[in-house]
Chains A and B, each alone.
Chain A
Amino acid sequence: MIGGLFIYNHKGEVLISRVYRDDIGRNAVDAFRVNVIHARQQVRSPVTNIARTSFFHVKRSNIWLAAVTKQNVNAAMVFEFLYKMCDVMTAYFGKISEENIKNNFVLIYELLDEILDFGYPQNSETGALKTFITQQGIKGQTKEEQSQITSQVTGQIGWRREGIKYRRNELFLDVLESVNLLMSPQGQVLSAHVSGRVVMKSYLSGMPECKFGMNDKIVIDKQGKGGTTEDTGKSSGKQSIAIDDCTFHQCVRLSKFDSERSISFIPPDGEYELMRYRTTKDIILPFRVIPLVREVGRTKLEVKVVIKSNFKPSLLAQKIEVRIPTPLNTSGVQVICMKGKAKYKASENAIVWKIKRMAGMKESQISAEIELLPTNDKKKWARPPISMNFEVPFAPSGLKVRYLKVFESKLNYSDHDVIKWVRYIGRSGIYETRC
């Protein structure tokens, strides 16, 4: 199991050091600094073995978090724990920075004591932790409160406490998708997938039981079979989407999903990620990039890039940015674009073309002349792909929320009384076209 946990600043100074196991000595702290943080070479692996001691590290801005062990631990668990640790710290004091860590070191030690016991991760849900790890001390608790805390921390519903009350029962659902594309210069889709998340903000009283439904092909097909023929006609076709795989927040009853494919859960209070999913079929690619690069002699490049938007004309895409890489020996660039603003950024070796808004089924174009310095560098320019950023108000996977039902038997509010909001945002992930 995890033998120790260290947090360093960018210089390699220790900010937090907590040792859980006897086999980890103080010298481990230095070993990591010398061999990883101060190493001359770029990090080649997130797991390093130095003198039979294994170091797992993740970096958040310029802070290094390292877990140390001498045993054959579950590596996936250690990384998951480090991420969780970051989440918990962020939930408590915001951004993970040297200053924030120094300011909250007592709190961090307290947290580390709670969420990691003898190297075994314990309950690390912030919702539960915040009920008893506060910086005010927990003097004023009644006995009932204490036992409520402990049963929540260890209980089956560790992510929600009892007795939550809201005057207005409200929930927000965000379907956030990032669409990834790799396209060949000829316009052939080399790979495309959508990784999506359903993020929920719930402000519901009591211990509500929720049921979430979407246009999952398997569910729709199943229902279609059971229902009338009319239904089948309606539900098949473009209405449903094939989900390759999905994962759920630990509040979702997985065995129920496995057997019935229904998503039921008691949600944590506040914001959390209900599910993640991935689709690869029938993806709506919001933009198509058509590059044309021509080398004119050894000192000039002509680049023309056309982008086409491919969605309903009534919808508007926002924050569009096209990044056209330029060779390292670029000396000057002249750009002409029909829409938006384009600039050559020498520090980034790219022409950045920004368009604020663009409706569906439109087309825009940029042309640039790139002057090159003659070099005797034999190495050819690698021609990195043209990448794009954008945001669209629909889900490129085609996912639709069909319902989210709320049942709370003990309190007197029904599904109808809950105010529900649903929003779809499609963003570009790695959206690249080779040129």
Chain B
Amino acid sequence: MVKFILFMMSVLFVVSFVGFSCKPSPIYGGLGLIIGGGVGCGVVLYFGGAFLGLMVFLVYLGGMLVVFGYTTAMATEEFPEIWMSSTTVMGSLCLGLLAEGLIVVYLKGGDEKMWGAESLVMFSGEEVGFIREDYLAGSILYSGGNWMLLLSGWCLFVSVFIVMEITRGR
């Protein structure tokens, strides 16, 4: 039953990506990102990564997407394009959903019984341990992974400059 939920969450993840990659107006893309972020979080939580899942909720959905939503609302157009409004967008949405459906049927082998996650997951991840990997990784980033932290910080810093240079205009 719980594995069925995992399967449904993965399908919904891909469907939300299809939903924003068929290029409706950005505000509707944000809606797709919210659903995708939430469901992806659920997948991470299923495999025991409570810390990282909640980090995604807080930082990604609660920080970045909020800012994205506000800026998109400021820059929105008069007649935004929804998923049904133009043939192109609706066509790519249908194509994406069809491709996802075909892949799901192929992976399941068309078998009604096997809705579990055995064919989807490579390594089991079912063992019970004493070490919480996600908390451990969060702290290792600051100790053994200091080079990675430095690079990530530098990249975020540079990206602000880059975005400002790109959007400077004439």
Partners in one complex: no
